[in-house]
Chains A and B, each alone.
Chain A
Amino acid sequence: MVNLPDPPMSLLLELTHRCPLQCPYCSNPLKLERAGAELSTDEWVSVLDQAAALGVLQVHFSGGEPMARPDLPDLVRHAASLGLYSNLITSAVLLNPRTLAALADAGLDHVQISFQDADAEGADRIGNYAGGHAKKLAAAELVRDAGLALTLNFVVHRHNIARVPQMIAMGEAFGAGRIEIANVQYYGWGLLNRAALLPTRAELDACTAAVFAARERLRGTMVIDYVVPDYYAAEPKGCMGGWARRFVNISPAGRVLPCHAAETLPAFAWPSIREETLADIWNHSEPFARYRGTHWMPEPCKSCDRREIDWGGCRCQAFALTGDAGRTDPACELAPDHAIMAEAAQEAEAPPPAFVYRRVGANLGVMA
């Protein structure tokens, strides 16, 4: 009998890649899926059934903008009926009293609203959506008043990192239980826009100091989750808690992935939920087994005492920066390719180029 891997804890559904915003660091792939390719309501319902049976505990409804799917309340209701913890990851520009009431009534547990900055001018420029920030503020008030748990998410980079203290103050003003201060992760759109987004070391250090001071001050009141950019790290992040160990992602068209960036990796035939079951994919598929655990590791990972803490870092980053997904993440100071990170960080000292906004077709010239 073959030992099966532990079941996944968490499932992220990219219900759609459609989104009113065009943030230049979007976690969606450069090749965005069109609406016609999206899974149907019945197919998503089957995904939820399979996920609960497999042992998934939390489901994240994401996108794109998941509220662009009119069947979202039905999917939330189905998740709740299965005992799944439901989290909505939203830009909130489509959130109003009517749409929120439908979601709350369906049993939604938690809402995470993305803010692009602490002030409207900066935020609307980053999202390339006039009036977006004001809509988000109104939406956050609605969520709070509905009694749902609320997280404010701030993705930070050189254009807004100086306003991290104001972002934390926004979280306090809304009585949010949790905020995220997450530096851009440089894959896909983020990598394409890295020179426009990566902060300097000094800017990052000031941000880190502000976060640590606020954490101390707000202990027991508001949790601040903090994500640093890998470019200034000494140790790599334990990306996704290790490849295919805790997390599974499903794309709008039903491709099943160990993380939302995995479609950037070539030489993988990603399994489809339209053709195989989630249990078969998780337990038996070659792509999920390829970098799971420690069997695949090169040195210096293989003999490192942190190999089951950081799991070799991020496979997508290793590929993006070295061309080989099986190498040690260059973010690790012990990695043979670590110098790449310092070279890239020099971009942050130069004036930022214009954004390549996230939209269908926007990247074609660059990728050609």
Chain B
Amino acid sequence: MTETAQADRVPAFRRGTKFRFDTVRAAWVVLGPERAFLPDEQAVEVLKLVDGARSLGAIAEDLCARFNAPTDLVMADVAALLQDLADKGVMTW
């Protein structure tokens, strides 16, 4: 896949997945069928931007601006995270 095509891909939580803040653990959680993950801080920042409309490129741009990080690196990290969650069945993209 070309870099442009990758940047245009739009991640979304799969039906049956919930991403919410758990007050007991004071942590964000991803909940799916027989699945529960506690994403780390970086992943939480990514997942907060997943709304089924924003593309990978737009998500990376937002993160780059806020965290002053190089775009290529952020794109690669975010793509790897999304692919991992897709393989686990909680996300499509």
Q: Which residues of A contact B (CB under 8 A)?
A: 7, 9-10, 53-55, 57-58, 83, 85, 87, 109-110, 112, 147-149, 151, 177-178, 219-220, 222-223, 225
CB-CB contacts below 8 Å: B1-35 with A: 14-18, 20, 22, 24-25, 29, 31-34
Q: Quote the shortest CB–CB distance from A228 to chain B (angstroms).
A: 17
- Contact for B20 among A7, A55, A83, A220, CB less than 8 A: A83
Contact A147 B15 (CB under 8 A): yes
B35 to chain A, nearest CB (A): 9
Q: Would you call B86 an interface residue if the criterion is a C-beta within 8 Å of the partner chain's C-beta atoms? A: yes
Q: A177-B14, A220-B87, A223-B88 are in contact. Are A55 and B24 (CB under 8 A)?
A: yes
Separation in Å of the B70 CB from the closest CB of chain A?
A: 27
Distance, CA A58 to CA B34, complexed state (A) = 8
Q: Is the CB of B16 within 8 A of A110?
A: yes
Q: Could you tell me the distance in whole angstroms from the C-beta of B88 to the nearest C-beta in chain A?
A: 7
The answer to whether B80 has its CB under 8 Å from any CB of chain A is: no
Question: Across the interface, which residues of A come within 8 angstroms of B20, CB to CB?
Answer: 83
Known A-B contacts A7-B24, A7-B25, A58-B31; the reply to A148 vs B36 at CB < 8 A is no
Q: How far is the CA of A58 from the CA of B33 in the complex (A)?
A: 9
Bound form: Cα–Cα A55–B27 in Å: 11
Given the complex of chains A and B, what is the CA–CA distance between A112 and B15 in angstroms?
A: 14
Complex: chain A residue closest to B18, CB-CB: A85
| One of A9, A148, A220 near B16 (C-beta < 8 A) | A148
Q: Which residues of B contact A110 (CB under 8 A)?
A: 16, 32-33
> CB distance B87 to A54 under 8 Å?
no
18 contacts between A and B (CB under 8 A): A55-B22, A57-B29, A58-B31, A83-B20, A85-B18, A85-B31, A85-B32, A87-B33, A109-B16, A109-B31, A110-B32, A149-B14, A149-B15, A149-B16, A177-B14, A177-B15, A178-B33, A225-B34
Contacts of B88 in A (CB 8 A): 223
Asked if B39 is an interface residue, CB under 8 A from chain A, the answer is: no
The chain A residue with its CB closest to the CB of B21 is A83
Minimal beta-carbon separation of B52 from chain A (angstroms): 14
Tally of contact residues, B, Cβ under 8 A? 21
Known: A9-B36, A57-B36. A177 touches B18 (CB 8 A): no
Interface set, chain B 38-93, CB cutoff 8 A to A: 83, 86-89, 92
Please give 5 more A-B residue pairs, beta carbons under 8 A apart, in addition to A55-B24, A109-B18, A220-B87. Answer: A58-B36, A85-B36, A110-B33, A147-B15, A177-B15
A220 touches B31 (CB 8 A): no
The interface centre, meaning the residue of B18, B22, B29, B34 with most chain A CB atoms within 10 A of its CB, is: B34
Beyond A10-B36, A87-B33, A149-B33, whether A57 also contacts B16 by CB under 8 A is no
Give me the interface of B with A, judged by CB distance under 8 Å: 14-18, 20, 22, 24-25, 29, 31-34, 36, 83, 86-89, 92
- Give A151 to B92 CA distance when docked, in angstroms: 16
How far does the Cβ of B1 sit from chain A's closest Cβ, in whole Å?
Answer: 13
Name which residue of chain A comes closest to B34, CB basis: A225
State in angstroms the CA–CA spacing of A54 and B23 once bound together.
10
B86 to chain A, nearest CB (A): 5
Q: In the bound complex, how far is the Cα of B32 from the Cα of A223, in angstroms?
A: 12
A348 to chain B, nearest CB (A): 28
Contact of B15 among A53, A87, A148 (CB under 8 A): A148
* Cross-chain contact B36 with A177 (CB below 8 angstroms): no
Contacts of A57 in B (CB 8 A): 22, 29, 31, 36
Would B33 and A151 count as touching, CB distance under 8 A?
yes
Q: Which one of A149, A151, A220 lies within 8 Å of B86 (CB-CB)?
A: A220
What chain A residues lie within 8 Å of B15 (beta carbons)?
147-149, 177
| Least Cβ–Cβ distance between B53 and chain A, in angstroms | 19
Chain A residue at smallest Cβ distance from B17: A149
Q: With a CB–CB cut-off of 8 A, which chain A residues contact B86?
A: 220
Q: Do A177 and B16 form a contact, CB below 8 Å, given A55-B22, A57-B29, A220-B86? A: yes
Instruction: Report the bound CA distance from A57 to B86 in whole Å.
Output: 21
